[in-house]
Chains A and B, each alone.
Chain A
Amino acid sequence: MAVIRDPAIQALQMAVVVLLAPALTGLVRKVKARLLRRRGAPIVQPYRDLLRLLRKEAVLAENASWLFRAAPYLIFAATWVAAALVPTFATGLLFSWSADLIVIIALLGSARFFLALAGMDVGTSFGGIGSSREVMIASLAEPAMLMIVFTLALIAGSTQLSTIAAFMGSPAVGLRVSLGLALIALVIVALAENARIPVDNPATHLELTMVHEAMVLEYSGRHLALIEFAAALKLLLYVSLIACLFLPWGLAPAGDGPAAMAIGIVSYVAKLALGGVMLAVFETTIAKMRVFRVPQFLGAALMLGLLAVLLRFVSTSL
């Protein structure tokens, strides 16, 4: 029974993340539009955009190399694999042991590495500006993320996501200040990693303020579709990560029946919707920062992570 069920759950998870990712992006855009008293595009608009982009021919710059063409597939694949390993509706994923939380973060790092290289490939100034700012942001966001992982690992005694999620759902957690700090830091890192306001503006077309959009400026057609898809998946991944770590209720434990699965999926969709709405509200209430304010913002996340680790030590010592 388990021989069939476990791969089926894993396959379902891979399908679910791909199917839901554009909807989350669409939801965020819709809510933002409504908050600005615009009607906004329907939630399914990102699906239409992706399909249309996929069908178009790809226009390559004259001196684009093979790396430029291969990068979108690698970026998409790495992000997809990372997203498929985060428990979304069930914890007992078949392959969840093949990558712990550190590996998932590092996989996203691999995707970013290739994206930054692709930005440099054509040799335009916008691509370069995007790549250089992206790696600057990443150089602060990654250590902050690892401090968050440390905090969680110190509390749960594991870096395995399914174990942490199970622990966070149990009453043994209690109220911990470290977790609160880690949550704030994780939200900051998620905003930076997904190029959201106040770090970057996903809707901007004012060139000098772009980071992510500047890197992908030369992409078109199916390549652009894949990169946008990967960005949507990454947003979904971070919302799922926050949900699975800090709101683990409703996650179907390993070996449960279809009823638990159904509850898991429903609660997962509800959590995603909640996350999307909160992100939209947050983005409408805050202004974008200057680029050189971002290091302070992310530095604060790093400090919160360190503080969380330190405070964690105080409460274990007793």
Chain B
Amino acid sequence: MTVVIVLGCVGALLLTSAAALAAAGAKAATALVYTACLAASAVIAAAALSGLVADAASSEITLPLGLPWIGAHFRADALASFFLTVTGLGGAVTSLYAVGYGSHETAPHRVLPVYPAFLAAMNLVVLADDAFTFLLCWEFMSLTSWALVMAHHREPGNARAGFIYLMMASFGTLALLLGFGLLAGPQGGYEFAAVRAARHPEAALILALALAGAGSKAGLVPLHVWLPLAHPAAPSHVSALMSGVMTKVAVYGFIRIVFDLLGAPGWWSGMVVLAFAAATALLGVLHALMQHDLKRLLAYHTVENIGIIFIGLGLALAFRADGMPGAAALALAAALIHVLNHSLFKSLLFFGAGAVLTETGERNMEHLGGLIHRMPLASLAFLVGCVAISALPPLNGFVSEWLTFQAILLSPAVPQWGLKILIPAVGAVLALSAALAAACFVKAFGVTFLGRPRSAAPAKAGEADGFSLAAMFTLAGLCVLAGILPGFVIDALAPVTRDLVAGRMPLQHVLPWLTIVPISESRSSYDGLLVFVFIGISALISATAIHRLASRAVRRAPAWDCGYPDPSALTQYTAGSFAQPIRRVFGTVAFRAREHIAMPPPGEAVAAVLRVELHDPLWETLYTPLGELVAAAADRLNAFQFLTIRRYLSIVFTLLVLLLLVLAIWL
């Protein structure tokens, strides 16, 4: 049932895309296209969610498309339903936001026709049930998102971002192609059902290829380099989709291949995934702290959150291999809840960044400030997103990290020594990255929205439009709901964990006070609802008591600032100065950060200049040499471009003979 509805909606999205191509110039096109996308995505989300909650049997359908002897298989099982809920929800809210945001678009003809196709592609990847369809839809998703990244291709840096994205996307698809080739085996069973039934002796290679393929799309270190370039380059609602939803589709690809199709790889698989995931989480958040571009900061946080999700997946792999289905279910559920949570708050934060961008024309935080006075509602919603992503109770980001910690605490039961020692270390990294994320969002919110305006643009900004605000508050509300009622989300995930790791977490929503108890009550429990209510009541009690009994008088006066207030807004702490202590502590090691101060000689009226030098270790050790290698090879091959026809023919002839010789010897 679900699969038919979703395919219908995907068809509607593709039709919208075609219609937009024809009518992109029309004035009403923006609102119409985005409304259509909103409707289609909402239906997808509703259908998938109801299928997931009702624990409906998986539905499948084969369409006579694609390769004639295979057809195109589509199937919606519990895992797909969960991810369809995420893509549908993200798509719907983003479309709502775009109804308002899209009216500021300078090049609507580049965005409108591609946007619905991009939504359709993401849903199709999740639905695909054979390797051919999966890869085709995956590549379609890459190409449509690339087109959206290139929407503003004349802006400096965007062309380079698009180029790097295209390279990495091709690399990822290549890895997946090879991976599916191995999975299909010599018989060439490309349907997922056939793949699932076969045995896979080359599990290690397949895992590596899946990590490279899905990881490059999700932003796993060291394949993350395109992400912080490409995500901010796209229009803000597309950034939200790419960060909030497309990376989740990549996570889906990884789960589908490794958990479902590959069978049960050994415990080493968990170790490999955990190591990459921990590096991703830490490096992502450290990079984010060094950024002053609001959208790029958010993009680096996507890298960090992908790391957190993969930590959960790595734990689930390890626990599953060691025959601990309950623990594996807990870890997998934690990862999936973080998938949902991240899609909520990251979209919300990109919406906020988009609203700031349209109102001020600035992405650089060093030119912003004081927006809480000009955009009170948008800043409130953004604040909710900041609290959620910083993993602070009682919002939703905390729930998934708490569950991941609970899974980590089960590590002593694992028999392998390597895992036993690695998992607590990963826990330390997770705690460190959570604390650094909080620091980073104090910086992001404090510099952008608090303080005084640092340039003319934010001083003149106005509130975001109604549609944008509606979308932002929808997501903020969902963040709060998912934070205080996590039991329902956990219960809804039970079919997914049952299918993938043959275990499930205890039933949660029947517990008193809607508390969540991952293992047993004597071990750990958390009640977001009660904590939320307690904080609310205590704040209310103290506020009422103080206002009634003590004093409510308020006087406005110039800032105190230890007696030396400076009227210039330039003396405020900037994003760079805020990050300086952390840059000194972590950056000198991670990025070889150096500060250079050019002090003018005494008596000269020139400004002193502070320059911070940062090195991206991965870019310099991995990508620059690779680029140089390719360039050198291209230089060598360049000579082949200028040969005579006779030479070309002789090369072809020699090769042909050589191949025949090889054949002759081989056989």
**Distance A117 CA – B383 CA, assembled complex (angstroms):** 10
**Distance A145 CA – B435 CA, assembled complex (angstroms):** 11
Q: A110-B393, A309-B424 are in contact. List 19 more A-B contacts (CB 8 A).
A: A60-B554, A63-B452, A97-B515, A100-B525, A102-B524, A117-B442, A117-B446, A122-B451, A122-B559, A123-B450, A123-B451, A127-B573, A136-B439, A138-B435, A139-B436, A146-B428, A160-B523, A218-B559, A292-B581
Q: Is the CB of B531 within 8 A of A132?
A: no
Chain A residues with CB under 8 A of B531:
81, 98-99, 103, 107
Is residue B582 contacting chain A, with contact meaning CB distance below 8 A?
Answer: yes
Known A-B contacts A73-B542, A81-B538; the reply to A117 vs B445 at CB < 8 A is yes
Chain A 50-65, CB-CB to B under 8 Å as 1, else 0, gives 0000111111111101
Binding site for B on A (CB under 8 A): 54-63, 65-67, 73-74, 76-78, 80-81, 84, 95, 97-100, 102-103, 106-107, 109-110, 112-113, 116-117, 119-129, 131-133, 135-136, 138-143, 145-147, 150, 153-154, 157-160, 163, 207, 217-218, 220-222, 226, 291-292, 295, 302, 305-306, 309-310, 313, 316
Q: Is the CB of A159 within 8 A of B572?
A: no
Chain A residue, CB-CB nearest to B411:
A154
Known A-B contacts A98-B513, A135-B582, A154-B412; the reply to A61 vs B539 at CB < 8 A is no
Pick from B316-324, B343-351, B367-375, B647-655 the stretch touching chain A: B367-375
Choice from B390, B409, B522, B581 contacting A150 with Cβ under 8 Å:
B409
Q: Is the CB of B431 within 8 A of A143?
A: yes
Chain A residues with CB under 8 A of B424:
147, 150, 306, 309-310
Choice from B390, B420, B450, B546 contacting A65 with Cβ under 8 Å:
B450
Q: Is the CB of A221 within 8 A of B551?
A: yes
Pick from B232-240, B563-571, B656-664 the stretch touching chain A: B563-571
**Distance A163 CA – B525 CA, assembled complex (angstroms):** 12
Chain B residues with CB under 8 A of A145:
431
Chain A residues with CB under 8 A of B442:
113, 116-117, 120, 131, 135
Q: Is the CB of A81 within 8 A of B565?
A: no
Chain B residues with CB under 8 A of A54:
546, 550-551
Chain A residue, CB-CB nearest to B425:
A306
Tally chain B residues at the interface, Cβ within 8 Å: 85
Is residue B103 contacting chain A, with contact meaning CB distance below 8 A?
Answer: no
Choice from B447, B451, B530 contacting A98 with Cβ under 8 Å:
B530
A-B contact pairs, 27 of them (CB 8 A): A54-B546, A57-B553, A58-B551, A60-B554, A62-B556, A66-B372, A66-B376, A67-B450, A74-B539, A76-B539, A106-B402, A120-B578, A121-B451, A123-B452, A123-B569, A124-B560, A124-B565, A125-B573, A126-B561, A139-B432, A143-B432, A145-B431, A147-B431, A218-B559, A295-B585, A306-B424, A310-B424
Is residue B580 contacting chain A, with contact meaning CB distance below 8 A?
Answer: yes
Q: Is the CB of A157 within 8 A of B521?
A: no
Chain B residues with CB under 8 A of A132:
443, 573, 577-582
Choice from A67, A113, A160 contacting B438 with Cβ under 8 Å:
A113
Chain A residues with CB under 8 A of B398:
103, 106
Chain B residues with CB under 8 A of A102:
402, 405, 524
Q: Is the CB of A98 within 8 A of B527?
A: yes
CB distance from B512 to the nearest CB of A (A): 10
Q: Is the CB of B525 within 8 A of A97?
A: yes
CB distance from B484 to the nearest CB of A (A): 11
Is residue B387 contacting chain A, with contact meaning CB distance below 8 A?
Answer: yes
Choice from A56, A76, A131, A146 contacting B542 with Cβ under 8 Å:
A76
Is residue B594 contacting chain A, with contact meaning CB distance below 8 A?
Answer: no
Choice from A99, A163, A222 contacting B527 with Cβ under 8 Å:
A99
Q: Is the CB of A125 within 8 A of B561?
A: yes
Q: Is the CB of A113 within 8 A of B390?
A: yes
**Distance A309 CA – B526 CA, assembled complex (angstroms):** 24
Chain B residues with CB under 8 A of A142:
431-432, 434-435
Chain A residues with CB under 8 A of B565:
124
**Distance A306 CA – B424 CA, assembled complex (angstroms):** 8
Choice from A56, A125, A309 contacting B551 with Cβ under 8 Å:
A56
**Distance A124 CA – B445 CA, assembled complex (angstroms):** 16
Known A-B contacts A57-B553, A103-B531; the reply to A116 vs B538 at CB < 8 A is no
Binding site for A on B (CB under 8 A): 369-370, 372-373, 376, 383, 387, 390-393, 398, 402, 405-406, 408-409, 412, 420-421, 424-425, 427-428, 431-432, 434-436, 438-439, 441-443, 445-447, 450-452, 513, 515, 521-527, 530-531, 534-536, 538-539, 542-543, 546, 550-551, 553-562, 565-566, 569, 571-573, 577-582, 584-585
Q: Is the CB of A135 within 8 A of B412?
A: no
Choice from A61, A226, A313 contacting B558 with Cβ under 8 Å:
A61
Chain B residues with CB under 8 A of A78:
535
Q: Is the CB of B539 within 8 A of A133?
A: no
Q: Is the CB of A103 within 8 A of B582?
A: no
Known A-B contacts A62-B556, A309-B424; the reply to A76 vs B530 at CB < 8 A is no
**Distance A26 CA – B451 CA, assembled complex (angstroms):** 34
Chain A residues with CB under 8 A of B435:
109, 138-143
**Distance A21 CA – B469 CA, assembled complex (angstroms):** 42
Chain B residue, CB-CB nearest to A73:
B539
**Distance A313 CA – B579 CA, assembled complex (angstroms):** 37
**Distance A1 CA – B431 CA, assembled complex (angstroms):** 42
Choice from B373, B450, B524 contacting A158 with Cβ under 8 Å:
B524
Q: Main secondary structure on chain B at its contact with chain A?
A: helix
Choice from B420, B439, B542, B561 contacting A226 with Cβ under 8 Å:
B542
Choice from A73, A126, A136 contacting B543 with Cβ under 8 Å:
A73
Known A-B contacts A57-B553, A160-B525; the reply to A313 vs B538 at CB < 8 A is no
**Distance A303 CA – B521 CA, assembled complex (angstroms):** 30
Chain A residues with CB under 8 A of B513:
98
Choice from B421, B534, B573 contacting A81 with Cβ under 8 Å:
B534
Chain B residue, CB-CB nearest to A221:
B551
CB distance from A127 to the nearest CB of B (A): 7
Chain B residues with CB under 8 A of A117:
442, 445-446, 450
Chain A residues with CB under 8 A of B406:
159
Known A-B contacts A62-B559, A110-B392, A218-B561; the reply to A120 vs B447 at CB < 8 A is yes
Chain B residues with CB under 8 A of A127:
573
CB distance from B90 to the nearest CB of A (A): 26
Chain B residue, CB-CB nearest to A299:
B585
Q: Is the CB of B387 within 8 A of A110?
A: yes
Choice from A56, A59, A95, A217 contacting B562 with Cβ under 8 Å:
A217
Q: Is the CB of B553 within 8 A of A58?
A: yes
**Distance A73 CA – B596 CA, assembled complex (angstroms):** 42
Chain B residues with CB under 8 A of A58:
551, 553-555
Pairs of residues from A and B, 10 with the lowest C-beta to C-beta distance, nearest first: A128-B573, A123-B451, A120-B446, A57-B553, A135-B439, A98-B527, A77-B539, A136-B581, A143-B431, A142-B435
CB distance from B337 to the nearest CB of A (A): 16
CB distance from A47 to the nearest CB of B (A): 14
CB distance from A99 to the nearest CB of B (A): 6
Chain A residues with CB under 8 A of B515:
97-98
CB distance from A16 to the nearest CB of B (A): 15
**Distance A120 CA – B184 CA, assembled complex (angstroms):** 57
CB distance from A186 to the nearest CB of B (A): 15
Chain A residue, CB-CB nearest to B561:
A124
Q: Is the CB of B581 within 8 A of A60?
A: no
Q: Is the CB of B527 within 8 A of A59?
A: no
Choice from B543, B560, B569 contacting A61 with Cβ under 8 Å:
B560
**Distance A127 CA – B539 CA, assembled complex (angstroms):** 24
Q: Is the CB of A128 within 8 A of B572?
A: yes
Q: Is the CB of A158 within 8 A of B561?
A: no
CB distance from B477 to the nearest CB of A (A): 19
- Identify which of B373, B376, B392, B569 gathers the most chain A CB atoms within 10 Å of its CB: B392
Choice from A98, A150, A157, A163 contacting B427 with Cβ under 8 Å:
A150
**Distance A268 CA – B402 CA, assembled complex (angstroms):** 30
Chain A residues with CB under 8 A of B562:
126, 207, 217
CB distance from B538 to the nearest CB of A (A): 4
Chain B residue, CB-CB nearest to A210:
B562
Chain B residues with CB under 8 A of A154:
409, 412
Q: Is the CB of B431 within 8 A of A160?
A: no
